[in-house]
């Protein structure tokens, strides 16, 4: 096994740029959908990655970037509380990770499995993907994410969206090597080119933007309403984090849950998310696309990710680069999001299947069914709504309903006879 630790600096920097390219598509889609500044997202992803590596002792080849789990809550919170208070809620979500890290340090990881088993987390993850489906369809149809305004005529938009989607699918399924890791990039490029031919790209912001520009950092404000709205949303990304740490450990054949320890990796995620929110960036989390690239390139040197972070920070100060990202037409992103949001739902479904959750049991059927309807239907109870509400309801139902309980990879409290 090679770890490329002795590679010259220029080679590490080149490999880091490649890793950033892999994460880039999903990294910038998040801020573009939610109305955050993509240059700020690049900067905070770089800073967040460096914080993560500092906390974990630079032992894990991981790059942190925007989490899709927060898209719907950010859109809802911005409408309800404004951007500054939304950022305050996101900062609190990062601090929840810090609290979970401390709890794991004191009590171990067992209570996480009992509190957040597959029957709880899987439907919450499915809700994230399915709840975002209308946004993808609106954008693919040429409208804004909430469907309130038409940006591009439907006949033109649907051609652009379906072409972008088709190219993304083809590259994801049939491409070879590193190209298979960047299907979003190909989908955006082809969709953008087609949009330019059809005359729906406005490039004037690129010409007007300076080459060097400080990102539009935003300072958070705090309100209990926004904090209570955002805190429950952090549950699903926390579990996704555990899965990503296990996945990268399988690739490098190291047990990162023991060294540096799950408490440290979760602490790194939490501090990175809070730091990003302090500057106006989206929450940070570990990235499965980067794990795939590490597996493909066999490049296990964590310093590669340091260089990816540095390149991201440098790009954040290129004004024309951010302006170019913001000229990507909505149908291009909408077509790609039809695949990405569906993939999130499938991740949740796969968690149910792989952990053999028995949906013939009444308790499991109730938990999954109520969670899906509350989340996708965007039910509101007090300060909780949508994903936040369904996450809390799933946890509570799992704790109070009688019957055998499913754990990750095995069943606990199983009766002696079935």
pLDDT in the model for residue 406:
61
Residue 37: half-sphere exposure toward Cβ, Cα within 13 Å: 25
pLDDT in the model for residue 6:
60
Q: Are 316 and 43 in contact (CB under 8 A)?
A: yes
Say how far apart CA 98 and CA 267 lie, in whole Å: 5
pLDDT in the model for residue 17:
76
- For residue 377, what are its two tokens? 């239907």
Q: Are 71 and 112 in contact (CB under 8 A)?
A: no
Q: DSSP states of 211-237 as a string? A: SB-----------HHHHHHHGGGGHHH
Q: Are 9 and 24 in contact (CB under 8 A)?
A: no
What would the pLDDT profile of 343-388 be if each residue is shown by its tens digit?
878 878 887 888 888 888 899 999 999 999 998 888 888 767 777 7
Q: Are 330 and 129 in contact (CB under 8 A)?
A: no
CA distances from 385 to 27, 44, 145 (A): 26, 28, 19
Helix (H) or strand (E) holding 21: helix 9-34
Say how far apart CA 220 and CA 132 lie, in whole Å: 25
pLDDT in the model for residue 415:
35
Distance from chain centroid for Cα 324: 22
Helix (H) or strand (E) holding 405: strand 405-407
- For residue 339, what are its two tokens? 């695949």
CB atoms near residue 229 (< 10 Å): 27
Phi and psi of 120, rounded to 5°?
-90, -50
Per-residue pLDDT of the chain (418 residues; tens, 9 = 90+): 444 556 677 777 777 777 777 677 778 888 888 888 999 999 999 999 999 999 999 888 888 888 777 887 888 888 888 999 999 999 999 999 899 899 888 887 677 777 778 888 888 888 888 888 898 899 999 998 878 889 899 999 999 999 999 998 998 889 887 777 778 888 889 999 999 999 898 888 888 889 999 999 999 998 888 888 888 777 767 767 777 787 788 778 888 878 888 889 999 999 999 999 999 999 988 766 666 667 666 677 888 888 889 989 999 999 998 888 888 898 998 998 888 888 878 878 887 888 888 888 899 999 999 999 998 888 888 767 777 788 889 989 998 988 766 655 544 433 333 3
């Amino acid at each position: 096994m090679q770890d490329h630790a002795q590679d010259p600096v220029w080679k590490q920097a080149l490999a880091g740029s490649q890793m950033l390219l892999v994460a880039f598509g999903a990294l910038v889609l998040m801020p573009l959908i939610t109305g955050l500044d993509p240059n700020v997202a690049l900067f905070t992803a770089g800073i967040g990655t460096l914080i993560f590596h500092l906390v974990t002792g630079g032992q894990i080849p991981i790059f942190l970037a925007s989490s899709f789990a927060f898209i719907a809550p950010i859109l809802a919170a911005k409408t309800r509380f404004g951007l500054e208070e939304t950022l305050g809620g996101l900062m609190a979500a990062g601090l929840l990770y810090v609290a979970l890290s401390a709890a794991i340090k004191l009590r171990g990881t067992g209570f996480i499995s009992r509190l957040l088993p597959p029957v709880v987390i899987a439907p919450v993850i499915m809700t994230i993907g399915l709840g975002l489906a209308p946004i993808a369809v609106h954008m693919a149809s040429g409208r804004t994410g909430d469907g309130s305004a038409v940006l591009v005529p439907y006949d033109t938009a649907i051609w652009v969206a379906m072409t972008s989607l088709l190219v993304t699918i083809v590259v994801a399924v049939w491409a070879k090597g590193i190209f298979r890791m960047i299907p979003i990039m190909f989908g955006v490029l082809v969709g953008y080119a087609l949009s330019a031919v059809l005359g729906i790209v406005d490039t004037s912001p690129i010409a007007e933007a300076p080459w060097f520009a400080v990102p539009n950092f935003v300072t958070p404000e705090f309100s209990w309403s926004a904090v209570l709205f955002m805190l429950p949303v952090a549950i699903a990304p926390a579990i996704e984090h555990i899965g990503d740490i296990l996945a990268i450990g399988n690739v490098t054949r190291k047990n990162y849950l023991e060294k540096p320890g799950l408490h440290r990796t979760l602490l790194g995620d939490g501090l990175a998310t809070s730091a990003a929110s302090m500057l106006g960036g989206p929450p940070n989390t570990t990235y499965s696309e980067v794990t795939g690239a590490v597996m493909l390139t066999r490049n296990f040197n964590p310093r590669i990710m340091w260089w990816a972070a540095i390149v991201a920070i440098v790009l954040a100060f290129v004004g024309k680069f951010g302006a170019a990202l913001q000229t990507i037409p909505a149908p291009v992103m909408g077509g790609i999001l039809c695949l990405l949001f569906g993939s999130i739902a499938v991740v949740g479904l796969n968690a149910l299947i792989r952990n053999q959750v028995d949906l013939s049991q009444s308790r499991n059927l109730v938990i999954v069914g109520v969670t899906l309807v509350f989340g996708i239907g965007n039910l509101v109870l007090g300060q909780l709504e949508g994903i936040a509400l369904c996450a809390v309801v799933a946890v509570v139902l799992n704790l109070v309903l009688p019957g055998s309980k499913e754990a990750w990879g095995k069943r606990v409290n199983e009766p002696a006879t079935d």
